[in-house]
Structure 1
């Protein structure tokens, strides 16, 4: 599902260049759940952005779901994300002037789905928001907003879900409930998950844990089988 080979990422000017990723390698099989941990500023979000095609690496090769990202232009990358990748951010990134239903329908409409609003309603119902369809983000709690973001991420049935600190803006109880929902949906759909987190308890729920150290990934133990059932 994901293959990163010798990924380099440098940011800033030549005089003040910062090497964020240094020869990073990663292989993720379809259906895996991967947690990536590491201190703030270690490049975790940058790595996620590279995988999503939102950041072009300085060097190396990126292949996601059998698609080589390097040769794609911006329009092709946008179509790639629309059709194959769901993304959940810490800050929700909902459109304030659209209802929950409209927020989830947007990627479906962009994909040309005639049933965009039917599917959006189904996805919101699946995350427990069937009675909040007409509410705007400002009328929803943080947990409800993140549920809308999850519904939107799953709406186009992506094979890969990228989640960047998805419970970071939520209180512990709400965050736990939303993460229960996310993992349940990932398992039900067989979606590959790459999760960026500072929460060791959340990382333990994934089948494999990685740590980003000095721009390179270090494998941790495969703990998924120890934390389920």
Structure 2
């Protein structure tokens, strides 16, 4: 389909464990259309996060094919993949992954600086303002609460104005009220930038906000 932005065809992932090879994903065929919000659900260990990593090129499929924006991720080298993510994707993790020696402003500006954007810090400041942290630009991660750190992570993911936004349990380390606020911000960023959002979550109330839900069971899509 012309408006398919992410496509997986019989995608498989096999990793080597202590007791030998382990099949994580067992033949996933799935398409995500431009502007769609897709919720990935399923029990722990079902392969949700691994599927998200395949979509972002952070993990390579060991079988099948994964394409994003028409590009075959499996055919790209590591440098090309990194540039592709930088230019087209925003990724939000459960554990924030901020650089501890950088301020909030520097953390958010980093992907723009790497891309050679001239007004990186101006755009980073605007994005921090959009997530309610305009007064915290000079603070370091250790000086911020978990909810504030996740807001910085959201701003960093959104500042490149990505076509694809991937979020892996973004509220998993937060209390209920803070998590709800983060989800409102995440969906707001999607609306503001027109991004396609793929969200891994255990929370039914979050998955229900998505346009479509897909459940994984033991590395397979539950049809």
Relative to the length of structure 2, the TM-score reads 0.96
Structure 1 position 15, deviation (Å): 6.0
Q: How does 1:159-178 map to 2 (within 5 A)?
A: 159-178=163-182
Runs of 4+ in 1 over 6 A off after TM superposition: none
Q: Distance in 1 between matches of 2:109 and 2:191?
A: 23
Q: Residues 150-206 of structure 1: CA distance to partner in whole angstroms, max 9, x if unpaired? A: 000001110000000000000000000111111112122211000000000010110
Q: Distance in 2 between matches of 1:106 and 1:71?
A: 27
State the partner residue of 2:156. Answer: 152
| Aligned partner of 1:207 among 197, 204, 211 | 211
Q: Distance in 2 between matches of 1:14 and 1:95?
A: 31
Given that residues 84 and 159 in structure 1 are in contact (C-alpha distance below 8 angstroms), is that contact kept between their aligned partners in structure 2?
yes
* Cα distance change on mapping 1:87 and 1:67 into 2, 3 Å: same
State the partner residue of 2:143. Answer: 139
State the partner residue of 1:185. Answer: 189
State the partner residue of 1:227. Answer: none
State the partner residue of 1:126. Answer: 130
Residue 63, structure 1, aligned to residue 72, structure 2? no
State the partner residue of 1:77. Answer: 81
Please provide the CA RMSD for this pair. Answer: 1.1
State the partner residue of 1:89. Answer: 93
Q: Residues 117-168 of structure 1: CA distance to partner in whole angstroms, max 9, x if unpaired? A: 0110010011110000000000011111000000000011100000000000
Q: Distance in 1 between matches of 2:193 and 2:17?
A: 43
Counterpart secondary structure, 1:86:
strand
Relative to the length of structure 1, the TM-score reads 0.93
State the partner residue of 1:30. Answer: 34
State the partner residue of 2:118. Answer: 114
Given that residues 7 and 66 in structure 2 are in contact (C-alpha distance below 8 angstroms), is that contact kept between their aligned partners in structure 1?
yes
* Cα distance change on mapping 1:182 and 1:13 into 2, 3 Å: closer
Counterpart secondary structure, 1:17:
strand
Q: Which runs of 5+ in 1 are unaligned?
A: 220-229
Q: Distance in 2 between matches of 1:13 and 1:48?
A: 20
Given that residues 25 and 219 in structure 2 are in contact (C-alpha distance below 8 angstroms), is that contact kept between their aligned partners in structure 1?
yes
Counterpart secondary structure, 1:146:
helix
Given that residues 53 and 77 in structure 1 are in contact (C-alpha distance below 8 angstroms), is that contact kept between their aligned partners in structure 2?
yes
Matched pairs, number: 219
Residue 46, structure 1, aligned to residue 43, structure 2? no
Q: Which runs of 5+ in 2 are unaligned?
A: none
